[in-house]
Structures are given as C-alpha cells and as structure tokens.
Amino acid sequence: MNARPLALPATPEPDRAVAHPRLVRRVLGVALLELLVALLAVPLVADSRPGLTMRAATALTTEDRCLTALETVQAAGLVLPRMFKYRCPGDTQAFPGDRQHWGVVCYYQMFCPEGAYIAVNPERVGRSDARLRYVVAHEIGHAIDYVTTGSTTEESADDQAHAAGF
C-alpha cells in the first residue's frame, strides 16, 4: 500500500478559508448553548402561573399586541388625550346589544357616563398587527377630534390615521 501524505498549502487561498474542525465544533457548541439559554429564558405562561388556561395565556399575548400598537401609534405623533382610557382588548359595542366593532370611542356620552375611552377589539380586528395599529390610530383620531372640536367624523379619523402613516 502506497500511502501518500496529504500536502496542504502553507496558507489558505484567499477565497477558500480552511477552518479547523475543533474550532467549528466549538463555535457550533457555543451557538447551541446560546440557543438553549434563549429558549430557557422564554417564560412558559402556563407553567409560571398554576391554573392558567390557554385562553388566558392568549389574552396576555393580546394585551402585549395592544400595548405595542398604542406605543407605535403614539410614537408616530397620534397621542391619546389624557382624559381618555385605553381599553384594549375592550368591549367595542357602540351601545348595549350592538355588534362588536373593530374599535369605538366614547366621550362623556350616554353609554359612557363615567368618562372617556377608546376601546379596540383585537379578536375582531384579526391577526394583522398593521390593521390593529390602524384601528388604534383611527380611534385616537376620533378622541383628538372630540377634545379639539367637540365632534368627529369617520373621514377625519381616517385622515389623521393616514397622515400618521397608518
């Protein structure tokens, strides 16, 4: 048997790097370890709160979507007036017995005598975060109209949402 030693170039060619197998294993091991640490850092809602149902876990995710939408809209310049509460997820009936809408605004009216609020129904809006941000922007537009002019229109709320980029 004629064994010929394998001759490697003294330095790798510029377009072809040669990695040492131990270095590759070490890099992959570190990457896998970081992935494992990241996965373990994600809290499991059902495990962290005994008795919490999957529906309640989904509600926590919905609340996070709602807060993110509000923060994004306000960062774009549409700021919810101070006297308005933000109810998301919220009941979006315009009056008792009405169907659920994507969102509603109430400003010291007969069906909201305790104050002013906007309510958004993410379940009705659907999974689209862009649509959720638009609904939040639209309802904030209504709220701004009520505070500044005492009345509002769908066109005005749409115009404000579009002007802010939603």
State the pLDDT at residue 57: 46
- Is residue 44 a part of any domain in this protein? no
CA dist., res. 84 & res. 93, Å (int): 17
What percent of the chain lies above the pLDDT cut of 70? 63
- Is residue 33 a part of any domain in this protein? no
Assign 148 to helix, strand or coil.
helix
Counting the structural domains of the chain, the total is 1
Query: Order of strands, edge to edge, in the sheet holding 84-87?
Result: 84-87, 116-120, 103-107
- Is residue 27 a part of any domain in this protein? no
Largest CA distance in the chain: 99
- Is residue 72 a part of any domain in this protein? yes
What are residue 120's phi and psi, to 5 degrees?
Answer: -130, 140
Distances (CA, A) of 41 to 10, 38, 46, 51: 45, 5, 15, 21
The CATH number given to whatever domain includes residue 113 is: 3.30.2010
35: Cα separation from own chain's centroid: 23
Domain range spanning residue 138? 52-163
**In the predicted model, is pLDDT for residue 34 greater than 60?**
yes
Q: Residue 89: is the preceding peptide bond cis (ω within 30°)?
A: yes
- Is residue 34 a part of any domain in this protein? no
**In the predicted model, is pLDDT for residue 129 greater than 60?**
yes
Q: Which two tokens stand for residue 21?
A: 């197998």
- Is residue 3 a part of any domain in this protein? no
State the pLDDT at residue 82: 93
- Is residue 78 a part of any domain in this protein? yes
**In the predicted model, is pLDDT for residue 22 greater than 90?**
no
CA atoms within 13 A on the CB side of 145: 20
Residues 6+ apart with CB under 8 A from 112: 106
State the pLDDT at residue 52: 46
- Is residue 28 a part of any domain in this protein? no
CA dist., res. 84 & res. 142, Å (int): 11
* Residue predicted with more confidence, 151 or 52: 151
pLDDT tens digits for range 42-78: 444 443 444 444 444 455 589 999 999 999 999 999 9
CA dist., res. 85 & res. 87, Å (int): 6
CA dist., res. 69 & res. 133, Å (int): 5
